[in-house]
Amino acid sequence: AMITKLVLQRLEPVQRKWVGKGSVLAATYLAYAVATAARLPYSIAKTSLHDEWAPFKGSSGQVMLGSLDTVFMAAYAAAMPCMGAIADRTNQPAFLSLALFLIGFMLAGIAMAKA
């Protein structure tokens, strides 16, 4: 924080504005990258579901995993316009922060679930 304060004090107001916007953009991009990367273990876990869990064993197991993917992606696609409308009507930084926190909380909960 001290270094940031020293750097920002030496900049002109217009430069300070762009440095601030750039840092917010970088932080948001990093947060989304981490949230997206955290969902990748799902595709890895599907192989163990296919091998170890009774509903996904056998010839219909691959079809059920494909259906699970389809339902997840359809729900995700259907929720995006709704979330966009909510974000437009609320405080966008607070909404984004809450959404990223909830993603992290749910992923932590999934990670702690017993097999």
pLDDT of res. 65: 82
- In Å, what is the CA distance from 56 to each residue of 32, 65, 88? 31, 7, 40
CA–chain centroid gap for 77, Å, is: 14
CA 97/CA 35 separation, integer angstroms: 12
Pick from 19, 25, 22: nearest CA to 5: 19
pLDDT at 1 over 60: no
Average pLDDT of span 37-49: 71
CA 54/CA 51 separation, integer angstroms: 8
pLDDT of res. 89: 92
Q: What is the pLDDT of residues 66-106, one digit of tens each?
A: 888 788 778 888 988 998 899 899 988 888 888 888 877 87
